[in-house]
Structure 1
Amino acid sequence: MTMPDSHSATPWLRFWNRGGWWKAVLVAAVYMALYLGASQLIGILFAGRFDVSDQFGSPQTVAITLLLPIAVGALILLAFAASLKWLPELFGRQPVKGKGWMWIAPVVVLLAAVLRVAGTDWSRYAVSVILLTFLSGLFIGLAEELLTRGLAVNLLRRGGYSERWVMVLSSLLFALLHSSNLLGGQPLLTVLFTMAFTFLFGVAMYLTLRVTGSLVWPILLHAITDPTTFLATGGIDVAGAAPSPLLTFAGLSVYVYLILTIIALFLVKDRVERRRDLTTLPTS
């Protein structure tokens, strides 16, 4: 894949094209600040029109507290990627091919989502709430995957990191994003559990990115994971006993993610070479 070389690119492009782990952290930090700021502003603008104690109790609450903030976040990330002229690269074919065993990741993610759909009491929710929640899930998948499996992975690869470190660091960054739940008043133990799960899920999404060869598939799988989890549990990042045996089976996917992560730490050894003209090519 060809990118602007160091002579023709602007200072803005040259800065980001060099990549690096700290630039991935910088992008994530600025994004989270803007996202949380947008959430606060939206909350002020629509004060009195939503009930945070029952986030899935009305379509207005879902739209204001979930859909609008993440839609703003997704647009911010798309605008940033467009400013770098990276959109064709981010949504194009991956520079390194996946291995056959990596297919376990998307299959398990999809199976867990199907089990949650089958085990959820949908009569608890209005149809409009369900539709808005899934629409929110699409923006969540777009924003979080574009940030972590798109921009962060690209910055790490441009920084010269091996794919093992790309996988670990991008998944760690994904987990750290969820530490912001502390600001919403969630208990520390719940937040730590969420961060541990999101690290493992991040590895599964990285493996999905590799084996499918496209960022689109992690986005879509992520887009069905969050809303089916929210509606199955009745809240966001809620930990507790599953009310249905099917939801219990779906919860077992975390152990598969753990095993996959351990396997991946040993088997993921590829590298995308960085050249002086800032063109990246996979090694043989």
Structure 2
Amino acid sequence: MTITPHRRTGTPRGSRVRPTVAVGVTVAVVYTVVLSTIQQQSGIAYDEFFDSAYNAWRGPVLSLAIGSVLLVAFVAWARWDILWRDPERLPVPRLAFVLLGAFTVLVVVRASGIAYADIDTSLLVAVLCLGVLVGLSEELLFRGIFLRCMRNGHLSEGAAALWTATAFGLFHLPNVFLGTGPVGVVQVLLAGLSGIALYYFRVAGGAIVLAMVMHGLFDVTTFLSTDYGASWSTQVALPLQVVTWVLAGLVGLQLFRRARGYGVTSTGVVRMPTVGHPA
């Protein structure tokens, strides 16, 4: 990887608004408020989303469908570069590849243990649609829009990636008020760790599509294995999940240390100042 000297970038050519930290935070907050409001208005608690096909369609699927349309419309209007694909191949440490492998095995184990024949067809279709919409909307928002705003020529890649993971974790905080209770606070931390893995899925693939696919598969297998998973699958998946979280924490520390020396801009990878830089 060739690192060119650092230089700040202005508004990308052809874009209608400059991708800044303030814009990224605003889009994330507006999306979160819209999503939470629609789900709350449905009258269906978070832990009842998959009790029936009606609950799934009326609660999470509807809100995510509306949110996805809004995000795609914003992206089409903003016309930002390096949102869907990185400008060049970024470094992926070996430990990060181990993390991605553990994440993938976890998804496969969960998927293998689900009793698909016991699931109502309409509910299964709703959950699959949910997986597609989750992968599209949440990755487009965080590993797309938000990460692009962090990659504004002023932040290192380490800072951009870790702030994106933090925002992804905080995005799950409203679930506390939608029915998860105190468990939702733990979900915030675990989602933030998952965000590190999803960031590296994007980096390893060079594009956001791989992160979208893995995010959708992770959520689908998580939702279905809760009520339809075999006991052996649960017993294997639980320690795998713990290993994945620990690896994500270690990779996050490694990311903080190693990725603060460079930034990602539309012109490619640039060297960042090291004196007094936050990450």
TMscore range, shorter length? 0.7 to 0.9
TM-superposed deviation, 1:242:
9.2
Distance 2:199 2:47 in 1: 34
1:131 maps to which of 100, 120, 125: 125
Distance 1:230 1:224 in 2: 10
Show the 5 A alignment for 1:46-65.
54-65=48-59
Would you tell me which structure has more helix in proportion to its own residues? 1
Amino acid at match of 2:196: V
Q: In structure 1, what is the equivalent of residue 238 of structure 2?
A: 248
1:145 maps to which of 139, 142, 163: 139
Q: In structure 2, what is the equivalent of residue 180 of structure 1?
A: 174
CA distance 1:112–1:5, shift in 2 (3 Å)? same
Tell me whether 1:283 sits opposite 2:276 in the alignment.
Answer: no
Distance 1:53 1:261 in 2: 30
Q: In structure 1, what is the equivalent of residue 263 of structure 2?
A: 272
Amino acid at match of 1:210: V
TM-superposed deviation, 1:118:
2.3
CA RMSD for the aligned pairs? Answer: 2.9
Amino acid at match of 1:137: G
Q: In structure 1, what is the equivalent of residue 274 of structure 2?
A: none
TM-superposed deviation, 1:123:
4.9
Distance 1:65 1:157 in 2: 33
TM-superposed deviation, 1:213:
0.5
Distance 1:73 1:163 in 2: 27
Q: In structure 2, what is the equivalent of residue 193 of structure 1?
A: 186
TM-superposed deviation, 1:210:
1.3
TM-superposed deviation, 1:78:
0.6
SS of aligned partner of 1:283: strand
Query: What's the TM-score, normalizing by structure 2?
Result: 0.81
How many residue pairs get aligned? The number is 259
TM-superposed deviation, 1:262:
2.5
* 1:193-228 superposed Cα distances (whole Å, 9 cap, x missing partner): 101111111011111111211000100000100111
CA distance 1:229–1:68, shift in 2 (3 Å)? same
Tell me whether 1:233 sits opposite 2:220 in the alignment.
Answer: no
Tell me whether 1:118 sits opposite 2:108 in the alignment.
Answer: no
SS of aligned partner of 2:177: helix
Distance 2:239 2:12 in 1: 55
Q: In structure 2, what is the equivalent of residue 166 of structure 1?
A: 160
Q: In structure 1, what is the equivalent of residue 211 of structure 2?
A: 218
TM-superposed deviation, 1:93:
3.9
Distance 2:76 2:150 in 1: 18
Distance 2:11 2:240 in 1: 48
Distance 2:270 2:184 in 1: 39
SS of aligned partner of 2:268: strand
Amino acid at match of 1:114: V
CA distance 1:200–1:94, shift in 2 (3 Å)? farther
Amino acid at match of 1:230: F
CA distance 1:71–1:245, shift in 2 (3 Å)? same
5+ residue gaps, structure 2, are 1-8, 272-279
SS of aligned partner of 2:180: coil
TM-superposed deviation, 1:259:
2.5
Q: In structure 2, what is the equivalent of residue 208 of structure 1?
A: 201
Amino acid at match of 1:281: G
CA distance 1:228–1:80, shift in 2 (3 Å)? same
Q: Report sequence identity in percent.
A: 20
